[in-house]
């Protein structure tokens, strides 16, 4: 079952790129004592994700931070190298933390996996945005198939 508002985020390990190379980041480290917007895309460089979803969070990063958000993180079932390249190509800088869930284990733990085999993409994560405060989900915005509304940066900003 998909994670809901009021529930605690599951434990897991994601990857991010650092100047020294790939690094594991435990979800406890990511969420403990922080307000985090974690948004998920079906894939790096895919049309809606690349043209709208990630750019929206980059553009509104300062406004989200002004509302108390400590970390804005983009999650995808792509490897850490692809996520790093996408972040560079999109000019995220320090505004968005690019996270890899390479095997899709974390999206599965959230109950938000997506079977995209029909598109030749294998198993991925659904399009969603979670507002997490100290590990507790405050808002769980999961898109209907083919939609891009409730996980958009503008929508999340309106919830804060």
Known catalytic residues are 49
CA separation for the pair 49, 54 (Å, rounded): 6
């Amino acid at each position: 079952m998909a994670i809901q508002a009021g529930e605690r985020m599951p434990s897991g390990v994601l990857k991010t790129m650092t100047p020294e190379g790939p690094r594991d980041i435990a979800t406890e480290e990511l969420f403990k004592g922080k307000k985090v917007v974690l948004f998920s895309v079906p894939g790096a460089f895919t049309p809606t994700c690349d043209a709208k979803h990630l750019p929206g969070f980059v553009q509104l990063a300062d406004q989200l931070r002004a509302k108390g958000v400590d970390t804005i993180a983009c999650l995808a079932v792509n490897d850490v190298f692809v996520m790093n390249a996408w972040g560079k190509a999109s000019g995220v800088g320090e505004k968005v933390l690019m996270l890899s869930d390479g095997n899709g284990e974390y999206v599965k733990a959230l109950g938000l996996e997506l079977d995209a085999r029909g598109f030749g993409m294998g198993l991925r994560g659904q399009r969603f945005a979670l507002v997490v405060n100290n590990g507790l989900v405050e808002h769980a915005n999961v898109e209907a198939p083919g939609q891009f509304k409730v996980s958009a940066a503008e929508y999340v900003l309106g919830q804060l």
